[in-house]
């Protein structure tokens, strides 16, 4: 059982907030208000989500999981699709890609008995997969727009030589997917050596033996790796088409 942190102990966390606030005043950084409000906002959000999760965990499994996953996926797709502003149907594409990824990962977890279909297991694990996919999709969309802009000359040269849009885009798709995957590849290389991953830390603090905790960490780390690669690849191969018209000509994507 995890040791409880009393309200008094929690109160003294104020010192952790006062340190950056003092530094801000000392060096006239002008960040004092911002540090204070973001800390307050973060704490409030976490308390609210704590109460919400407690409520959802008390519901029947299917209902609790469905409500929370829907909220997570909608928020994640709205956030990620902002990076692809100007690309037609980017919101719906991002939403569908995250749904597909989540269903695939969930099917693997449940199918191979890695976790049980319970809100206290499915919701936190899915949150990590959805959150990481959101970041990967955002990176892929952002990179796609900048690559099509920067490499416009190469794409036009490829088209002029007779390449179809899918062939002309190949040179970019590789770069885009790679850039979205690199943070995870690097993260996996040093996992556990530099810092203990969040989930494993949580389980150890909760009283789970480290050797058991790493099993969960391996499940989630590899699930994230797969979902990040898949989501970046899917969103890229779906969206690159919008940079071309039916006559195999490059068209500009304009942000609103």
What residue ranges bind another protein (CB under 8 A)?
A: 153-154, 156-164, 167, 171, 247-250
Nearer to another protein by Cβ, of 9 and 246: the residue is: 246
Measured CA to CA in angstroms, residue 82 lies from 32, 57, 213 at distances of 29, 31, 36
Nearer to another protein, 79 or 175 (CB): 175
Query: Six-digit token pair at 130?
Result: 């959805």
Q: Which is nearer to another protein, 58 or 160 (CB)?
A: 160
Q: How far is the CB of 230 from another protein (least distance, A)?
A: 25
Encoded tokens for 23: 């530094």
Work out how close the CB of 155 gets to another protein at its nearest, in angstroms, rounded to a whole number.
9
As measured in angstroms, the least distance from the Cβ of 157 to another protein is: 4
**Which 3 state secondary structure label does DSSP give 219?**
helix
**169 Cβ contact list (under 8 Å, min separation 6):** 155, 240, 243
Neighbours of 131 (CB within 10 A): 15
User: Half-sphere exposure (CA, 13 Å, Cβ side) for 58?
Assistant: 6
Q: Name beta bridge partners: 250.
A: 244
Least distance CB 178 / another protein (angstroms): 13
Dist. CA 35–CA 17, nearest whole Å: 7
For the chain, what's the residue count? 256
Nearer to another protein, 67 or 171 (CB): 171
Q: How far is the CB of 144 from another protein (least distance, A)?
A: 17
């Amino acid at each position: 059982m995890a040791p409880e942190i009393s309200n008094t102990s929690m109160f003294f966390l104020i010192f952790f907030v006062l340190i950056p606030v003092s530094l801000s005043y000392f060096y006239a950084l002008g960040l004092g208000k911002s540090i204070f409000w973001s800390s307050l906002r973060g704490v409030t959000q976490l308390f609210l989500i704590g109460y919400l999760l407690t409520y959802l965990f008390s519901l029947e499994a299917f209902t609790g999981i469905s409500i929370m996953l829907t909220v997570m996926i909608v928020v994640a797709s709205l956030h990620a699709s902002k990076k692809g502003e100007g690309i037609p149907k980017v919101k719906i594409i991002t939403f569908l890609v995250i749904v597909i990824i989540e269903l695939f990962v969930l099917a693997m977890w449940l199918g191979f008995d890695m976790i049980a279909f319970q809100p206290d297991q499915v919701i936190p694990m899915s949150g990590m997969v959805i959150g990481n996919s959101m970041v990967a999709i955002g990176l892929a969309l952002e990179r796609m727009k900048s690559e099509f802009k920067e490499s416009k000359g190469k794409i036009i040269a490829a088209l002029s030589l007779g390449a179809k849009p899918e062939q002309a885009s190949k040179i970019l798709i590789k770069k885009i997917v790679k850039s979205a995957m690199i943070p995870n590849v690097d993260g996996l290389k040093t996992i556990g050596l530099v810092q203990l991953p969040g989930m494993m830390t949580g389980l150890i603090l909760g009283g789970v033996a480290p050797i058991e905790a790493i099993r969960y960490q391996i499940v989630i780390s590899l699930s994230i790796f797969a979902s990040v690669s898949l989501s970046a690849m899917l969103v890229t191969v779906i969206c690159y088409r919008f940079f071309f018209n039916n006559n195999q000509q490059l068209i500009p994507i304009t942000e609103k």
